[in-house]
A = this chain, B = another copy of it.
Amino acid sequence: MAKINEDLQRERDKCTFKIAELTTLIDGGRDRTDARREREKVLLSRTKDLDGVPEEYLSHKEKYERAVKNSVILFGLVRQMQEEGKTSVTDYRDVITALLASAQTRDGSPLGVHYIMFMPAILNQGTEEQQAQWMPRAWNSSIIGTYAQISRREKMISCDVHASIASPDIIFGEKGDAIIDDDDDDHTELGHGTFVRGLETTATYDPSTKEFVLNSPTLTSYKWWPGGLGHTVNYCIVVAQLYTKGQCHGIHSFILQVRDEETHEPLPGIKVGDIGAKLGLNSVNNGFVGLDNVRIPRNQMLMKHAQVLEDGTYVKSKNSKLIYGAMVFVRVVIVFDMVNYLSKASTIAVRYSAVRRQCHTKEGEPETQILDYITQQHKVFISIATAHALRVTANKLWDTFNTVTEELGGGNLNRLPELHALACCLKAVSTADTANCVERCRLACGGHGYMHSSNLPLTYGLVTAACTYEGENTVLLLQTARFLVKTWQNVDTAKLTPTVEYLKNTRSKGFIEKWQNSTECIIKGFQIVAVGKISSSVDHMQQRISNGMALENAWNMTSVQLVSAAEAHCRVIILSIFYEVMNKAMATVSPELRRVLQKLVELYCVYWALEKVGDLLQYAPIAQSDIREMKSWYEDILVELRPNVVGLVDAFDIRDGILHSTLGAYDGRVYERLMEEALKSPLNAEPVNQSFHKYLKPFMQGKL
């Protein structure tokens, strides 16, 4: 192993807590740490020679070809490990997750959707016969599929997916039962994202041949975005408006073969290809498909829920609520993704800031580590705290999800609206906060953070994508707002579910007797802010209505405030959970670690209190002098955390092979790595590029 940079080594030497203890806490137990390390070791050891020319130097097409090569090797490895029955790698989901996080597929994999969505969709929506027909071939990768729409949409025909924007009558009206509407935004057709009802692809049943005829009647109805669809998959689950016996029954899912299994040529009537280069995810092979009278047998409609009989009779689904589970599940996974990216970005920025020196603080001394500048600490430390806060929140959401799922099994739907509202705002706030944090980290690394070899630009590309996919953030926050407004309107009479109980509590007399600069008081302050924002949004809306404005317009006019109210609610949730869970954890750890965790919680609370100080001033009993003191408090926390930040990011325990960053590697050989990566540029393979002879020289000689 190469020598560790001296500054980094000094940081590690002075760290006051045991790094391994925190790693165990993060993983949720020593055995889980061990299992994760074992998985990573196996994967990294068998894939370390896949790299070659760094991805950022490749063309779009070369990136794709590299991605296919690496993906089949990696997924082949998974298959092999399963066959070998390696105990440490038997957890399918953990392996896939570890695999997709590895450096070789860090920009995504064209096979990812096959494992993450295609197979689960068949399991969730297919009948037992259909599962028996398709799953064995999918499982051993004899066929590779993708999904042109998220599964849970199947039964959304009767509810307005964009109701949070377009149909506020659901809030004020009687359609209480429809409070959970789908709201996703996957841009599954070129012209339609969020609004699923507007999908134009059709599947018309032809009883004479017992087939469905699939069509893309317009350019805007082309499917657009499914991962792997471009040139990789030969099957695809397509969502289309079902017509039978002259009637439309809304959207349903169909298994469609898009390419020949032997030749891989697109089948007749199918126009399929790559959608082009993107900000990130260029290894995913997102594709489009257009259909011209493509016929598929009747049994390729996924019929676990609704069915079309041989004669074309439509049989409705009996059950439409349970499928919401999948949606919540996906969003919890996204929050965990964000935690991973935050851990990476903060590891890179902190280690680089320890190595990078700039300017003398005092004449004659060595230049100062930039980690010593408070402005740098202000940029970077919040990412560490955010990673912890989102991790414990995602864990909690996961537990809640499991509880509610159990209750659902018993027919209890009470907490479904709450869970949905929670998943919506947590997905939105966690992705937006992560994107901001990652970009702060990147900018904190100055010009070198702009280099692809830092891995920060790609990381930003991936996290910012999450602000749009699986529910565009603004749309999601309006979903949460809808739940909050409805809850608020019944706050005096209804029994409130746990995450909104505070809506009632804050109104008790002396909820905050006198402001104190403590984490507890800040959390109470945020509760007051959320209540204030919800109630004033409702007032604002009702005032516009009483001035004669139509309900849907009043909702639209208030929507900027509603988004803000939903965000405030989400801050309450994250702050409270972080505080509670960490306090419990602190009771179980060493005193050294306890002090550091305490500071992380304080940092997170005070950072957000100062960020939202305008809200606190409007709604909570906080004075200017409190704010002045709070700023000093914040500065002091940064200084107290300073000696331990390298230890804090080391505890994320991200191997160099996964981190993949010149600036963030464990040994801190920043400049050596920057130069090594630059020398891998194919441009540097020749001293003189051909363009000199072809263009530059004639130009310099005045001949061009």
Q: Which residues on A are within 8 Å of B, measured CB to CB? A: 54, 56-62, 64-65, 68-69, 72-73, 75-76, 140-144, 160-162, 165-167, 185-187, 190-195, 198, 219-220, 222, 224-225, 230-232, 263-266, 273-280, 288, 357-362, 367-368, 372-375, 378-379, 439, 443, 446-453, 457, 464-465, 467-469, 472-474, 478, 536, 540, 552, 556-561, 563, 612-618, 624, 627-628, 631-632, 634-635, 639, 671-672, 674-675, 677-684, 687-692, 694-702, 704
Q: Which residue of B lies closest to A627 (CB)?
A: B618
The answer to whether B373 and A704 have CB atoms under 8 Å apart is no
Give the chain B neighbours of A624 by CB distance below 8 A: 618
Whole-angstrom CA separation of A699 from B77 in the bound complex = 11
List the B side residues contacting A561 at CB < 8 Å.
Answer: 631
Residue contacts A-B, CB under 8 angstroms, 26 given = A58-B59, A60-B681, A60-B682, A64-B689, A69-B691, A69-B694, A69-B695, A76-B704, A160-B360, A161-B359, A165-B375, A194-B359, A224-B674, A231-B688, A266-B687, A273-B679, A278-B452, A278-B457, A279-B451, A288-B678, A375-B563, A443-B464, A450-B468, A540-B632, A612-B614, A618-B627
Q: By the criterion CB–CB under 8 Å, are A540 and B628 in contact?
A: yes
The minimal Cβ–Cβ distance linking A480 to chain B, given in whole angstroms, is 14
- In the complex, the answer to whether B453 meets A465 with C-beta atoms within 8 Å is no
For A450, the chain B residues whose CB sits under 8 A away are 278-280, 464-465, 468
Q: Which residues of B contact A698 (CB under 8 A)?
A: 72
The interface residues of chain B lying within 8 Å CB-to-CB of A273 are 678-679, 681, 683-684
Q: Which residues of B contact A191 (CB under 8 A)?
A: 357, 671
**In the assembled complex, how far is the CB of residue A676 from the closest CB belonging to chain B, in whole angstroms?**
10
In the assembled complex, the CB of A169 is this many whole angstroms from the nearest CB of chain B, namely 10
The reply to whether B446 and A628 contact each other, CB–CB distance below 8 Å, is no
Bound state CA distance, A194 and B672, in angstroms? 20
Evaluate contact between A677 and B165: CB separation under 8 angstroms: no
Q: Among A65, A141, A195, A700, which residue has the most Cβ atoms of chain B within 10 A? A: A700
Known contacts A60-B683, A374-B559, A443-B464; can you find 5 more A-B pairs with CB under 8 A?
Answer: A57-B59, A231-B688, A264-B696, A275-B678, A375-B560
CB distance A678 to B276 under 8 Å? yes
| Given A187-B448, A273-B679, A697 and B443 contact (CB-CB distance below 8 Å) | no
A57-B61, A276-B451, A450-B465 known; A683-B374 Cβ under 8 A: no
One of B61, B72, B140, B690 near A696 (C-beta < 8 A):
B72
Closest to A277 in B: B56
Which of B142, B446, B558, B697 has a CB less than 8 Å from the CB of A185?
Answer: B446
Contact across chains for B367 and A195 when beta carbons are under 8 A apart: yes
Copies in the complex: 2
Question: What residues of chain B lie closer than 8 Å to A628, measured between beta carbons?
Answer: 536, 540
Query: How many Å lie between the Cα of A39 and that of B465 in the bound state?
Result: 38
> Within the assembled complex, what's the spacing in Å between the Cα atoms of A702 and B137?
11
Let me know if A359 and B162 touch, CB within 8 A: yes
**Which of B187, B378, B540, B613 is the one whose CB lies under 8 Å from A446?**
B187
Of the candidates B65, B367, B536, B639, which one forms a contact with A691 in the assembled complex, judged by CB atoms under 8 Å apart? B65
Query: CA A695 – CA B372 in complex, angstroms?
Result: 50
| B-chain residues with CB within 8 Å of residue A194 when the two chains form the complex | 358-359
Is the CB–CB distance between B563 and A691 below 8 Å?
A: no
DSSP class of A's interface residues: helix, strand, loop or mixed?
Answer: helix
Q: Which residues of B contact A198 (CB under 8 A)?
A: 358-359, 367
The 10 A-B residue pairs whose C-beta atoms are closest, nearest first, are A614-B614, A162-B359, A187-B447, A56-B277, A72-B699, A59-B59, A279-B457, A68-B691, A613-B614, A617-B617
Expressed in whole angstroms, the minimum distance between the Cβ of A39 and any Cβ of chain B is 21
- The answer to whether B359 and A219 have CB atoms under 8 Å apart is no
Known pairs A219-B675, A368-B166, A675-B222; A700 contacts B141 (CB<8 A): yes
Residues of B with C-beta under 8 A to A683: 60-61, 64, 230-231, 273-274
Nearest residue, chain B, Cβ from A63:
B59
CB–CB A160/B446 < 8 A: no
How far, in whole Å, are A439 and B219 apart by their CA atoms in the complex?
28
Of the residues B142, B276, B464, B478, contact of A452 by C-beta under 8 Å: B276
A279 to chain B, nearest CB (A): 4
Q: Which of A191, A192, A280, A672 has the most CB of B within 10 A?
A: A191
Q: A198-B367, A288-B678, A375-B474 are in contact. Are A635 and B696 (CB under 8 A)?
A: no
**Of A277, A452, A469, A704, most B-chain CB atoms within 10 Å:** A277
Assembly CA distance A358 to B453 (angstroms): 39
Minimum CB distance partner of A560 in chain B:
B378
**Chain B residue nearest in CB terms to A704:** B76
Given A72-B704, A166-B361, A704-B76: A275 and B688 interface contact (C-beta under 8 Å): no
A699 to B75, Cβ gap below 8 A?
yes
A684 and B57 alpha carbons, distance in the complex (Å): 20
Q: Which single residue of chain B is at the shortest CB-CB distance from A631?
A: B561
Q: Which residues of B contact A457 (CB under 8 A)?
A: 278-279
Residues of B within 8 A of A687 (CB): 265-266
A276 touches B65 (CB 8 A): no
Q: Which residues from chain B contact A75 at a C-beta distance below 8 Å? A: 699
Contacts of A453 in B (CB 8 A): 276-277
Nearest Cβ distance between residue A670 and chain B, in whole angstroms?
Answer: 9
A362 to B439, CA, bound (A): 39
A143 CA to B671 CA in the complex, in Å? 31
Chain B residue, CB-CB nearest to A276? B678
| Bound form: Cα–Cα A695–B72 in Å | 7
Candidate in A219, A379, A618 with the most chain B CB atoms within 10 angstroms: A618
Assembly CA distance A224 to B232 (angstroms): 40
A634 to B224, CA, bound (A): 36
- A472 touching B446, Cβ below 8 Å: yes
Complex contacts, A263 vs chain B, CB 8 Å: 688
Whole-angstrom distance between the Cβ of A79 and the nearest chain B Cβ: 8
Please indicate the chain B residues that have their CB under 8 angstroms from the CB of A359 in the complex.
160-162, 165-166, 194-195, 198
Give the complex CA separation of A279 and B454 in angstroms. Answer: 10
Let me know if A696 and B232 touch, CB within 8 A: yes
| Nearest residue, chain B, Cβ from A188 | B447
Expressed in whole angstroms, the Cα–Cα distance for A80 and B674 within the complex equals 41
The 8 Å CB contact of A265, one of B288, B465, B688, B696, is B688
Complex: A616 Cα to B613 Cα, angstroms: 11
A56 surroundings in chain B (CB, below 8 A): 60, 276-277
Contact indicator A452/B165 (Cβ below 8 Å): no
A57 touches B277 (CB 8 A): yes
Compute how far the CA of A447 lies from the CA of B457 in the bound complex, rounded to whole angstroms.
18
CB distance from A195 to the nearest CB of B (A): 5
